[in-house]
Amino acid sequence: MTTLVGTDLGVQYGSFRALDGVSLELRPGHITGLIGPNGSGKSTLLHTLAGFLKPTTGRVELGGTDVTSWQPYRRARSGLSIKFQVARIYTQMTVAENVHLALQTGRPVRRLLRSADDVVDRDRTQALLAPFQLDDHLDVIAGELGHGHQQRLELAMVAAHGPSVLLLDEPTAGMSPDERRGVGQWVTSFADRCAVLIVDHDLDFVRSISTTITVLNQGQHVATGTPAEIEAHPDVRRVYLSHV
């Protein structure tokens, strides 16, 4: 079981500090909700943890190993998966082909030619899509799916990597309350095997699924605590009231 630790992370664009000395720890079996106003650095933090942004200060450790200098693909091979804020699916391919491709990520080339894997992959594809009610959309071109379905397809794709640490950037954006509930249940069941970080602007949703919540504002850490602690925290109230 893998823990992801970010310590004193900073990201600077010119003189602007998008992230300023932020630390957090993601443990297996825990769901950490990451909240904060627009532009507070949430996506920047996720991109830094996953290796898509190089921090100007601080370090990232995955399972006790310092991975700060590792490229994203190497972190992914060690069990780190990210769902970006904007869905990254192959819009010209079918739903099944998208998941099939995700299943093959990181496999040695010689295994890609084994037809036995195709049969197993077909079953796994169905199983991965079922929690998102996409298992009856296998042959639909992904680009023709509605926004909520595209988001859910990408969740099935990150699940296909079998991650031990999962970073989710606004996975329920644009979804109906029912779809959002479904994603919440899926995230909760997935967290049995995995450390999860989830960004969402719906505070009720974040409170309902998170064991811990971290709040950012203007690139800085404001507070970390249980949902009840965060709700009662005076600095958190100040951050949100100043944005209403």
Ligand X SMILES: Nc1ncnc2c1ncn2[C@@H]1O[C@H](COP(=O)(O)OP(=O)(O)OP(=O)(O)O)[C@@H](O)[C@H]1O
193 Cβ contact list (under 8 Å, min separation 6): 28, 164
SS3 for 165? strand
CA 1 to chain centre: 17
Please identify, using beta-carbon distances, which residue of 42 and 149 lies nearer to Mg ion. Answer: 42
Tokens at residue 115, please? 């037809």
Please identify, using beta-carbon distances, which residue of 102 and 213 lies nearer to ligand X. Answer: 213
Contact 65, 113 (CB under 8 A): no
Size of the site for Mg ion (CB under 5 A): 3
- x/- contact string, 25-64, with Mg ion (CB under 5 A)? -----------------xx---------------------
Please identify, using beta-carbon distances, which residue of 41 and 163 lies nearer to Mg ion. Answer: 41
Instruction: Answer with the entry of ligand X, Mg ion, none that 18 interacts with (C-beta below 5 to 8 A by kind).
Output: ligand X
Crossing angle, helix 115-129 and helix 95-104, to 10 degrees? 120
- Exposure string of 24-38, with b = 16+ CB inside 10 Å and e = fewer, is bbbbbebbbbbbbbe
- Give me the least distance between CB of 20 and Mg ion, in Å please: 16
Instruction: Answer with the entry of ligand X, Mg ion, none that 143 interacts with (C-beta below 5 to 8 A by kind).
Output: none
Interacting residue ranges for ligand X, rule: CB under 6 A: 13, 16, 18, 36, 38-44, 85
- Give me the least distance between CB of 141 and ligand X, in Å please: 28
Instruction: Answer with the entry of Mg ion, ligand X, none that 38 interacts with (C-beta below 5 to 8 A by kind).
Output: ligand X
Instruction: Answer with the entry of ligand X, Mg ion, none that 44 interacts with (C-beta below 5 to 8 A by kind).
Output: ligand X
Contact 131, 186 (CB under 8 A): yes
Instruction: Answer with the entry of ligand X, Mg ion, none that 80 interacts with (C-beta below 5 to 8 A by kind).
Output: none
List, in sequence order, the alpha helices (H) in 113-233: 115-129, 147-160, 177-190, 203-209, 227-232
Give the interface segment with Mg ion, choosing from 52-60, 83-91, 174-182, 228-236 (CB under 5 A): 83-91
Contact 62, 1 (CB under 8 A): no
Please identify, using beta-carbon distances, which residue of 137 and 221 lies nearer to ligand X. Answer: 221
Backbone dihedral angles phi then psi of residue 178, each to the nearest 5 degrees? -65, -45
Please identify, using beta-carbon distances, which residue of 36 and 79 lies nearer to Mg ion. Answer: 36
- Give me the least distance between CB of 167 and Mg ion, in Å please: 12
Q: Which residues bind Mg ion (CB under 5 A)?
A: 42-43, 85
